[in-house]
A and B are shown apart, each in its own frame.
Chain A
Amino acid sequence: MIEFAPIGQVFKNWLFGAYSKIKQNNLEKFRSPIWEKPWGYLESVILILTFWLISIVITWAHPISLKSLSFGHHLVILGLIGLSGLIVFLIFKKAVWYAWLVSLELTIVNLLAGLFLVFLMLIFEQNSFFQSAWIKTLQLDNISSSLYVWVLAALVELQLSTVIWKRIFNFTKKDFVFVLQHTGILLVIAALWLGASDVEKHTVKVEKTFAPFIINRHAENFEMVQMRLVDFDLTYFPPKLAIVHVKDTLQGIDLKWVWSIESKTSMRFKNHQIEVDTLLVPAIPIEGNYYRVNDLGHTQAVRLNLSSSQQKRQAWVSNGSLLYPSVMASLDDQYAVAMLKSEPKTYQCLLEIEYPNGQIASKLSIEVNRPIQLGMWTVYLTDFNAQWGDRTDYVMLEMVYDPWLEIMYIGLGLLVIGSISMLLWRA
């Protein structure tokens, strides 16, 4: 007959530790070897899989939205995580599960679990409308917002908080880098995990006519403005020329025969000498010739001096635009010189804001890598109508509201200081 230990005794020992007492009472014989002290990889895997299984069942049975909590609630959760770590360290430091919580084995299993989720994100297309029902039910199409990521993040945060307190209470000089890096990671994960539902992002299209945008929101009150695109400034890098195969266009362009007009004005290809005579930017074609004109749909053109053993001649080459076709200069029946599309060098837009009282604010200029603040939003310039170039009829803006910005920067700052300290320490 199998003997069972008193369940209350087992639970008490598990919760508050005192393995020595377990040993004295000879209770180990009632425990499966897998759960013997100290818990290792297998126990960590089983526990995390159990948490995930419960999360999946909850998600499947009754989907819960984790987006209903506010930024304030999330800050309280972050505070509770910090406090929980302290309580766990002070009260439960002799418990079996405490040893597991601060163990290397759990850290590695957590990292592997995170990597597994990343691989799932590579397999299942995220935020796609075209996923099957079971993928959506299991939230595999939105893994970063799923309950099982929430559970894993909560466990990692509790672990980080506990190990940080453990090091702080037993602080030596060696723990400096550890505390900095782990506090940094705790804050970064908190900003990504809890902040995911607080951060608002909107991609908006601003055209040349006024359209309404909400720039501030306080409870039920909205501050709305009208916004329109006034001007757009675009500069290009000098165009490049390339030798292309005219008969077999599938051959593509050999990078050996691509050159920038700016750095190289002549090129020798087989028995052909190619020299740049005149570059026109912007240009439009009129009866076979190109002229420097800045007009709608303008293009870029270059006049080449082409010479071979048989002849010398001039020819125009253009990369074309929405209105004008591209033009190549043939060298022989196999090869021609073509002009590649120029790459944008800089672009910036000028926006006009009209407030409800009719007042028009000074114009706002936005450039790539230089976002501006508009009400509660940080506004980024991300795109424009490339076919229309500097005469674009719209710009695409990314409007981001991120209350976790400061916390994220503190976390990243601690990580950077920790990494630099690690460098100095090790080097």
Chain B
Amino acid sequence: MITIFQITLLIVLLFWIFGSILFFFESKRAWSIALILLGQFILTALIVIYWIKIERPPLRTMGETRLWYTWFLASIALWLYYRKTFRYILPMGLALALVFLVVNLLNPELLNKALMPALQSVWFIPHVIVYLVAYALLSLVWLMAVFQLFKTRSNKNQLDTELNRILKIGFAFLSLGLVFGALWAKTAWGHYWTWDPKETWALITWAAYLIIIHYQDRYQTRTQTILWLIVVSFVLLLICWFGVQYLPSAQMSVHTYSG
């Protein structure tokens, strides 16, 4: 049973695949950008229509967060492309976005309007959105780090300026997500922090990026160590986002609705 939702995702997928392929031909660059923007426009429309249809912000389930993450990933990659500092981030970012689109295609979402009472809060949208922006930014940082690690002609003693900038912006969003979550928990349950598995891993992820920020401020020339720290921290981020739900302790988590 293929839904309109899946067909729309498939169209976005095709636009982005062709857009990414054309990107590597200098003469077809304009066509490439046009196709990518068209895909992004269709994805935006899909999110808006889905939002109207389910009568709540589509930010509850794992599939819905993947959809937003994909949108942010493509948007930020386009923004970075237009800054002209690291143009190849666009096809790299889109390749990652495509992985998440395929996962959504294979796991279609229900039209589920349910939103448990604790989630009906003014903090719901800012908390989730800010986290997803942070995830998208730090994913791009990870891609840039892997690129720099394996690029043979790179300056081994200097961290890419754009990577450093995006890392700090991503960390600022990660901090905001953590603070908004604590404020929301206080309003809903009276506690900022309950050492819930998701919260614990969010703290671990935040601390890992905090270590990178401090480390790279002091040892700016130890590029290889910083790049490897970014790679490891991204694994922690993925555990926090996806891996936590597979832990036995997650069954008692207040974040189980996200599964």
Contacts and interface: CB of A to CB of B under 8 A. Distances in A.
B55 to A, nearest CB: 10
A259 interface: yes
B200 A122 contact: yes
A365 interface: no
A104 B217 contact: yes
Interface string A96-138: 0000000010011001101100100110001000000000000
B195 A126 contact: yes
A415 interface: yes
Interface size class of B (residues with CB under 8 A): 35 or more
Nearest to A103: B218
Nearest to A380: B190
B207 A115 contact: yes
A194 interface: no
B137 to A, nearest CB: 10
B110 A255 contact: yes
Given A121-B200, A237-B113, A260-B111, A416 B176 contact: yes
A63 to B, nearest CB: 23
Contacts of B110: 240, 255, 258-260
A398 B172 contact: no
Interface stretch (B41-49, B95-103, B115-123): B115-123
A112 B207 CA distance: 8
B4 interface: no
Given A111-B211, A426-B172, A415 B179 contact: yes
Interface stretch (B85-93, B141-149, B180-188): B180-188
Nearest to B108: A256
Given A260-B112, A398-B190, A368 B172 contact: no
A422 B195 contact: no
A240 B175 CA distance: 38
Contacts of A263: 53-54, 111, 113
Interface string B135-159: 0000000000000000000000000
Interface in A343-359: 343-347
B168 interface: yes
A256 B168 contact: no
Contact of A343 (B114, B197, B211): B114
A343 B111 contact: no
B190 A371 contact: yes
Contact of B215 (A104, A262, A416): A104
A311 to B, nearest CB: 23
B46 to A, nearest CB: 16
A349 B161 CA distance: 55
B28 interface: no
Contacts of A382: 189
Interface residues of A, number: 51
B122 to A, nearest CB: 8
Given A104-B214, A368-B118, A426-B172, A201 B183 contact: no
Contacts of A346: 117, 120
A21 to B, nearest CB: 27
A420 interface: yes
B192 A426 contact: no
Contacts of B113: 237-238, 260, 262-263
A349 B103 CA distance: 42
A104 B189 CA distance: 36
A104 B216 CA distance: 10
A264 B210 contact: no
A264 B112 CA distance: 11
A91 interface: no
Nearest to B53: A263
A126 B175 CA distance: 26
Given A343-B114, A369-B117, A412 B175 contact: no
B189 A408 contact: no
B176 A419 contact: yes
Interface in B189-220: 189-193, 195, 197, 200, 203-204, 207-208, 210-211, 214-215, 217-218
26 contacts: A104-B214, A104-B217, A108-B214, A118-B200, A118-B204, A192-B192, A262-B113, A345-B117, A346-B120, A368-B188, A369-B118, A369-B187, A371-B187, A398-B190, A400-B191, A412-B179, A416-B176, A419-B172, A419-B173, A419-B176, A420-B172, A422-B168, A423-B172, A426-B168, A426-B172, A427-B165
Closest 3 CB pairs of A and B: A400-B190, A368-B117, A419-B172
Given A126-B195, A419-B179, 17 more contacts: A111-B210, A115-B208, A121-B195, A122-B200, A144-B195, A263-B113, A345-B114, A345-B115, A367-B117, A369-B117, A399-B190, A412-B179, A419-B176, A423-B169, A426-B165, A426-B172, A427-B165
